[in-house]
């Protein structure tokens, strides 16, 4: 007996399943991404060109100039020369700590020589940086802790804190110059007779006080942003557990605000290493208050190529400091991320 075979039933797709596409996958999506990439390139191109003009070109030009001699009289022949290649002599003049003595041998560079000026300015710059950043961090943290609390008039206090930072540095320096005058308000207020800009240590502390007054609000605002990211529930839970105020600050506030704190210290350190206008207006660089930036400006009057070498050295110093900070911050972030991932597992 023959068996009739009917048509083979067609398997229907499950309910809700997406229909199969037999064409090329994601062609439209790839075209859209490529179009966005082209638009992004065209939109970013003007910014990249502007940065190359105002940053990359001056850096390269300064490096090239630093290997050239300054035009002037040749100390050997007494003839005027147009310069020429100097090799690394400009860098040796700045970095060399030893100078030739008249009777042969070497002696320590006196302050009047290039090497003596460089190391003296470097020490002064790092002294200002360490002291001002330390003071501004402590005072800024204290101000941020106060502004993070809830009280009447908090918005007004936050706006008032910005006033010293908003004033231009040149104006700030001139105001403090009047206040540090021998007959100024500082001596009258504390009933002292100090020549603030007439001797070394009073002049240094005058620069430190003025810079701390101006830049502490900047630190306070950055740290305040980090404090506001800490959930209030964390503090409430610690109070329930019986943690004291010092324990909450040491075990909760400091660890959680550390990323914002380190960024604030990094920005302020890089700014302090480039300090110029405040000490220049207050003291003119006298009484051992000459920073690296002031030394660069003074050297420009003597020769552009030698000043270019000094500016290149200053750039390298600031770059190395920034590199150390970034590496330090990046290592902490990676370590914390790895620890978090292990905890979740």
Element (H, E) at 100: strand 98-100
Cβ proximity of 219 and 170 under 8 Å: no
pLDDT at 128 over 70: yes
* CA–CA separation, 225 and 258 (whole Å): 12
Element (H, E) at 212: helix 200-227
pLDDT at 337 over 50: no
Phi-psi category of residue 156: left, alpha or beta, with phi > 0 → left and psi -120 to 50 → alpha: alpha
pLDDT at 100 over 70: no
CATH fold of the domain at 127-300: MetI-like fold (1.10.3720)
Q: How many helices (H) and strands (E) does the chain have?
A: 14, 4
Residue-level pLDDT at 78? 57
Q: What is the mean pLDDT of residues 84-95?
A: 82
What the block records as the tokens of 209 is 């006080």
CB atoms within 10 A of CB 228: 12
C-alpha dihedral sign at 255, 256, 258, 261: negative
Cβ proximity of 122 and 130 under 8 Å: no
Residue (of 343, 198, 178, 156) closest to 284 by Cα position: 198
Q: What is the mean pLDDT of residues 6-10?
A: 50
- Taking the domains of the chain in order of start, what are their residue ranges? 50-70+82-95+302-333, 127-300
**How does pLDDT run across 36-62, given as a tens digit for each residue?**
888 888 888 999 899 889 888 888 988
pLDDT at 340 over 90: no
**How does pLDDT run across 66-76, given as a tens digit for each residue?**
888 877 656 55
What the block records as the tokens of 304 is 């552009």
pLDDT at 339 over 50: no
Mean pLDDT is highest, among 71-85, 142-156, 322-336, for 142-156
Q: How many residues does the chain have?
A: 345
Cβ proximity of 147 and 226 under 8 Å: no
* CA–CA separation, 96 and 114 (whole Å): 8
pLDDT at 214 over 90: yes
What the block records as the tokens of 120 is 């003296």
Q: What is the greatest pairwise CA distance in the chain?
A: 130
**How does pLDDT run across 13-39, given as a tens digit for each residue?**
554 454 554 445 556 777 778 788 888
> Using the 8-state DSSP alphabet, how is residue 54 labeled?
I
Q: Which of 105-114, 252-261, 284-293, 304-313 has the lowest mean pLDDT?
A: 105-114
Distances in Å between the Cα of 101 and the Cα atoms of 78, 112, 339 are 21, 14, 59
What the block records as the tokens of 80 is 């005027």
What the block records as the tokens of 134 is 């330390």
Split at pLDDT 50, 70, 90, the class of 122 is very high
* CA–CA separation, 76 and 79 (whole Å): 8
* CA–CA separation, 321 and 129 (whole Å): 12
% of the chain at pLDDT higher than 90: 30
* CA–CA separation, 245 and 161 (whole Å): 25
């Amino acid at each position: 007996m023959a068996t009739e075979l009917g048509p083979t039933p067609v398997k229907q797709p499950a309910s809700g399943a997406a229909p199969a596409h037999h064409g090329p996958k994601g062609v439209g999506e790839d075209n859209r991404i490529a179009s966005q990439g082209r638009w992004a390139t065209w939109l970013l191109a003007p910014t990249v060109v502007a940065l190359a003009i105002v940053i990359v070109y001056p850096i390269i030009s300064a490096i090239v100039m630093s290997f050239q001699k300054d035009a002037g009289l040749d100390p050997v022949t007494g003839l005027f020369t147009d310069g020429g290649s100097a090799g690394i002599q400009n860098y040796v003049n700045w970095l060399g700590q030893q100078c030739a003595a008249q009777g042969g041998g070497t002696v320590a560079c006196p302050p009047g020589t290039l090497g003596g000026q460089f190391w003296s300015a470097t020490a002064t710059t790092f002294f200002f940086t360490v002291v001002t950043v330390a003071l501004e961090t402590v005072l800024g943290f204290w101000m941020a802790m106060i502004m993070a609390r809830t009280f009447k008039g908090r918005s007004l206090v936050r706006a008032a804190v910005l006033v010293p930072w908003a004033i231009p540095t040149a104006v700030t320096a001139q105001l403090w110059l009047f206040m540090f005058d021998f007959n100024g308000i500082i001596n009258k207020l504390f009933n002292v007779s100090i020549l603030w800009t007439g001797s070394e240590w009073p002049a240094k502390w005058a620069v430190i006080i003025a810079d701390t007054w101006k830049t502490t609000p900047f630190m306070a605002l950055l740290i305040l942003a980090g404090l506001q990211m800490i959930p209030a529930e964390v503090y409430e839970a610690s109070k329930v557990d019986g943690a004291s105020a010092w324990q909450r600050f040491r075990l909760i506030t400091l660890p959680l605000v550390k990323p914002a704190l380190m960024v604030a210290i990094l920005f302020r350190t890089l700014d302090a290493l480039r300090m110029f206008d405040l000490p220049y207006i207050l003291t003119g660089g006298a009484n051992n208050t000459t920073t690296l930036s002031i030394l660069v400006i003074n050297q420009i009057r003597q020769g552009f190529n030698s000043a270019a070498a000094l500016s290149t050295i200053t750039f390298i110093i600031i770059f190395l400091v920034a590199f150390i900070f970034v590496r330090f911050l990046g290592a902490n972030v990676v370590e914390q991320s790895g620890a978090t991932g292990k905890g979740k597992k």
